[in-house]
Amino acid sequence: MPENTDPLSLDGRVAVVTGAGAGLGRAEAVALAKAGAAVVVNDLPGAGEEAAEEIRALGGTAAVVGGDVGERATADAMVEAALKLGGLDIVVNNAGVTRDKMLYNMTDEEFDLVVKIHLRGHFLLSRNAASYWRGKHKETGEQVYGRIINTASEASLSGSPGQANYAAAKAGITALTLSSARGLGKMGVRANAIAPRARTAMTAAVFGEDQSGKTVDPYSAEHVAPLVAYLAAPASDAINGQVFVVYGGMVVLMEAPAIAQRFDTSGETFDLAELDKTVGAFFADRDPAVNFGADALYKLTI
């Protein structure tokens, strides 16, 4: 493990960033390189070279691994490339696709593809990294340096109606992040998730053109990449198992769902009539628009 006198420095660290050929992933990879990390740039074959060249032009070190993150061979190749650069310290799972349709129109293939790239892709690389870190931990008995930064989405928190596949995959990523944080924390690994609002090729139809008039587009990846570099740094050691919404110069820490109401049976078990008198009665006067969705996010402004 390299000596880090500066808790914000990534000198001597090695990072893997998926979907780093353009957009948010590229901005994250460059931010990590500027902080001192060597970076394995992943994207589909042929799509990662320009990002790698940008990092090298900055004086950094970069390797390219082309491939589908939903395939085990790609995850294996990314870890192997990182080890050739000196080790593996940071994983940024960013790669993703969308296939938006209403639930009743969505095909099997559209659901499976989105879940594969997002959720399975996050799992494969995280699992391989976790295996590597556990091996180091068992070998030395000491804590290891490991950072996992996953990419969730507000879609999973609010339930965007035209994205059943995407919302479900992103909710799975949040759960995967929490499980990773709890399962790996004792050995020194930190796992957190970001839910970014960023104007990229994947979200062009969502955000449209920048009409803010600001010097930096509120939905620019420039607002997201610094948080990723921070969560990758030693300074973030106290942060684990958290979910952050980030855009436009704003970072919002999300809380876990809270218990809204408890219902207890007056007998041994509920029957339908009692459920109607307790659970049903509670909802009779409740705003039907209030559900499990984090609708307060819609009110976030900058």
Give the tokens for residue 211. Answer: 């009409």
Is 136 an annotated catalytic residue?
A: no
Residue 166 is among the residues annotated as catalytic for this protein? yes
Distances (CA, A) of 150 to 96, 133, 204: 11, 17, 21
Q: Which of 136, 145, 153, 219 is catalytic?
A: 153
Q: Catalytic residue among 126, 136, 145, 166, which? A: 166
Q: How many CB atoms lie within 10 A of CB 112?
A: 14
Separation between Cα atoms, residue 260 and residue 169, nearest integer Å: 25
| 200: nearest Cα among 23, 51, 44, 25 | 23
Q: Which tokens sit at 78? A: 């990314």
Burial 236-275 (b: 16+ CB within 10 A, else e): beebbbbbbbbbbeeeeebeeeeeeeeeeeeeeebeeeee
Q: How many residues does the chain have?
A: 302
How many Å apart are CA 278 and CA 257, to the nearest integer?
22
Q: Which amino acid is at 112?
A: D
Among the residues of the chain, which ranges form H helices?
A: 23-34, 49-57, 72-84, 108-115, 121-140, 154-158, 164-184, 204-207, 225-231, 272-275, 281-284
Name the catalytic one among 136, 145, 156, 170: 170
Provide the residue type at 111 as one letter: F
Active-site residue list: 153, 166, 170
